[in-house]
Structure 1
Amino acid sequence: MVAAGAEVLALTGNTPHIVFDALQARVPVPLVSIITSVSQTICERGLKTVGLIGTGFTMKADFFKQPLREAGISVVIPTDQEITYIADKIHDELEQGIVNPDTRDHFIAIIKRMAEEQGIEAIILGCTELPILFNDVTLPVMALDTVDIHIDALFAALDS
């Protein structure tokens, strides 16, 4: 891609960011991070406590949460049982293009519980398939669509 003239690069999924630093060290052009983009957006909006849903790995591992914590943002994840449910539904339904209203309702209930019990101000949709589940739905808290945020950051990187 660089040989073809790419000015910036991006990993287009959340979970692949586990290798972001190693990849950035190997390419001569900027690699725009979805995690850094989300962190900047959260800071710009003045949010202090956010929830994170996504693949099981994204919710459990530290690669997404640690940079947010370093920016002073508290990151809340679902319970172990909820993590299993979310991960299974992403794999078995959303990645297959299946949008089940019962699944949507259950996800919304999880987000609502996180808001009520843990004080999240927003929910990070930390899997690129999640926005299709919430299309035309109002969530109990602000949704942070990592795909949209990343796209905006990519355009900004090209403009600078």
Structure 2
Amino acid sequence: MKTTYIQTPLGITAIEGDENGVTKITTQTSADKPNDNHPIELATACHELKEYFKGSRTHFTFKLNPEGTNFQKKVWKALLEIPFGTTTSYLELSKKLGDVKAIRAVAAANGKNPIWVVIPCHRVIGSDGSLTGYAGGLWRKKWLLEHENPSPQTSLF
């Protein structure tokens, strides 16, 4: 397993994976430093994430290989189907997965998502439109949603 680090507007990001795909993308609170000498297995992920944060990429093409239960993987696959710039609720996601009663399990799987940004768990909000739960902090969730769907600036001049 290889690890590399990039700088993003939301902090230093660690990217882990191997020839089978990216297994984890997380924000760091440690003193790890971003670098430009990325392992070949992670180079595309680094490049595409940098493009995303610059605003020139809306989807990712690199291979994913997250570790989790079958149910978690099912939820994460459903998250990948949420279009860029849109949101859904935990309730709607549960309905899409075929069991409205599984809303808590869906929310728990969402919270265990190991591949930050790329598997877009930040696009899941409360049924009332509120920003609920986010492992990276609600301020990051808010930033990501605004980045993907910026409000048009209103001005009198």
- The alignment's TM-score, normalised by the length of structure 2, stands at 0.33
Normalising to structure 1: TM-score of the pair? Answer: 0.33
- The higher relative CO (CA closer than 8 Å, separation ≥ 6) is in 1
